[in-house]
Amino acid sequence: MQGKHRTVRAHVSGKVQGVSYRVWTRGEAMRLGLTGWVRNERDGSVAALIAGADAAVMAMIERLWQGPRGALVSKVEIEEASDDAPVDFRIIV
């Protein structure tokens, strides 16, 4: 990875469950060379841990606002994290 390494936690609200948001997120993260995980939350939102080069993390944050066809994102909250990310990008059930 080039550039500064960054890890963030994302919390995505709106119509993000039942539209393959987790699968889409994993695909986008892998295309950007990121590691981490994504999971559904009980409140209907989606949470993710995203780690990688700063520019790739920023690109992923922008993409979270779009989501897959059928998603309607109303809010993306980001906070810096110090969590260790896995060596790949996983969907957590």
Q: Indicate which residue of 22, 63, 69, 90 is catalytic.
A: 22
Q: How many residues can be counted in the chain?
A: 93
22 is catalytic: yes
Q: Pick the catalytic residue from 6, 39, 40, 90.
A: 40
* Helices assigned H by DSSP within the chain: 21-31, 54-64
Which residues lie across from 86 on neighbouring strands? none
- Residue 43 φ/ψ, nearest 5 degrees: -85, 5
The residues carrying an active-site annotation are 22, 40
